[in-house]
Amino acid sequence: MKLALSSSSEFFSLAVYNSQDLMLTNCGFFTKKLQKWSISSVENLLKTVEMSLKDLTIIAVDTGPGKFTGLRVGVAMAKTMAFALGIDMVEACSLDIIRSDVPALMPVIVAMDGKQNRVFTKVYNANGTTGEVLDIEPGKLKYMIEAEGLHHYTMVGDGFKNYSELQGYPINEIDYFFYPKAWHMHKVWSEPKNKLEVDARYYRKTQAEERRK
Partner 1 sequence: MKILGIETSCDETSVAVVEDGKKILSNIIYSQVPLHKEFSGVVPELASRKHLEIILPLIKDALMEANLTLNDVDAISVTQEPGLMGSLLVGLTVAKTLAYITKKPLIPVNHINAHLYAANLEYDIPFPFIGLIVSGGHTLLTVWKNWLDYKILGTTIDDAVGEAFDKVAKLMNLGYPGGPIIDKLFKKGDANSINFPLVMLNKNNDRYNFSYSGLKTAVVYYMQRNENYVVEDVAASFQKKAIDVLFKKTKLLSEDLNINNIVIAGGVAANSYLREVFHHSKMSVFIPSIKLCTDNAAMVGGLAYHLYQNQEIDYTSLDAVDKIITPQIKRNLRKEN
Q: Which residues bind partner 1 (CB under 8 A)?
A: 33, 35-36, 39-40, 42-43, 53, 68-69, 72-73, 75-77, 79-81, 83-85, 195-196, 199-200, 202, 206-209, 212
Contact 122, 92 (CB under 8 A): no
By beta-carbon proximity to partner 1, the closer residue of 167 and 206 is 206
CB of 196 to partner 1, least distance (A): 6
CB of 177 to partner 1, least distance (A): 29
CA 79 from chain centre, in angstroms, equals: 16
Contact 89, 78 (CB under 8 A): yes
By beta-carbon proximity to partner 1, the closer residue of 83 and 169 is 83
CB of 60 to partner 1, least distance (A): 15
Contact 16, 42 (CB under 8 A): no
**Both ends of the chain: CA-CA distance in Å?**
45
Report the alpha-carbon distance of residue 13 to residue 34 in Å, rounded: 11
CB of 85 to partner 1, least distance (A): 6
108-113/119-124 β-pairing: antiparallel
User: What is residue 121's three-state secondary structure?
Assistant: strand
Computed from CA positions of residues 204, 207, 212, 213, in that sequence, does the dihedral angle turn out positive or negative?
A: positive
Walk across the sheet containing 119-124 and list its strands: 134-136, 119-124, 108-113, 154-156
By beta-carbon proximity to partner 1, the closer residue of 38 and 154 is 38
By beta-carbon proximity to partner 1, the closer residue of 48 and 167 is 48
By beta-carbon proximity to partner 1, the closer residue of 79 and 122 is 79
CB of 98 to partner 1, least distance (A): 23
